[in-house]
Amino acid sequence: MKAERPPSAEKTTGAPSGRRRDAGRSRELLLDAATELFAERGFERTTTRDIGERAGVDAALIARYFGGKTQLYIAVMQAGSGDGAPADLLEEDRLRTLLGRTPHRGPGPVVRAALVPHDDPVVQDASREQLYARLVTPLHERFARDGVPQPQLRAEVAVAAFTGILLARSSGALTELAAADPDELLDVVRDLLDAAAAPG
């Protein structure tokens, strides 16, 4: 008699017994689900069980593919970094993308790093590193290139103002800001960021 194969750990929840996801697909589903949940709830309020349920994948696979929730959070941040140096916040396309994304997904891990400190020091350090790499440093480099005084301080003030806008936009507390089309906001936010570069 032919021995039965044990059920795969990667079998889709509720899927027919013969249908299994490959490792790459399961990893991708977990990463997508974690990206959504971390944006909605933050790191501390998201559990691995939540992520597994959202992904339709066994939550135990988080440890296998990423090492744990902390490493998955870091992977989410790194997945959004793309290739090469990011454009700074004064680049119109970058600004429009960030303004358009937040109301639907909530502020992502990098933006949250500027707003709420993490209890986990590993997560906090990784979040801060990504915050600087993707938002502060590109703006600092532009300001320094343009001869703006105190380029680091001004870049940090501009990023703080911008992340505050994203948070208020996603919370819905400021109704006109939350409802505004990204194109409506673009000029207003650009003026605010330009003011940070003014000589004073």
Distance CA 145, CA 150 (A): 12
In this prediction, residue 81 has a pLDDT band, given cuts at 50, 70 and 90, of low
What is the set of domains in the chain, with CATH numbers? 23-78 (1.10.10.60), 82-197 (no CATH)
> What percent of the chain lies above the pLDDT cut of 90?
33
Q: Is the pLDDT of residue 1 over 50?
A: no
pLDDT tens readout for residues 22-73: 888 999 999 999 988 887 888 888 999 999 999 999 999 999 999 999 999 8
DSSP string, 4-45: PPPPPTTBPTTS-TT-B--HHHHHHHHHHHHHHHHHHH-STT
Distance from chain centroid for Cα 82 = 12
Residue 9 pLDDT class (50, 70, 90 cuts): very low
pTM: 0.71
Which of these ranges, 36-40, 73-77, 99-103, has the smallest mean pLDDT? 99-103
Q: Which residues contact 48 (CB under 8 A, 6 or more apart)?
A: 59, 62, 68, 69, 72
| The predicted structure's pLDDT at residue 11 | 45
For the chain, the average pLDDT equals 81
Nearest to 138 by CA among 64, 93, 85: 85
Band of pLDDT at residue 105, cut at 50, 70 and 90: low
Calpha distance 109→106 (Å, rounded): 10
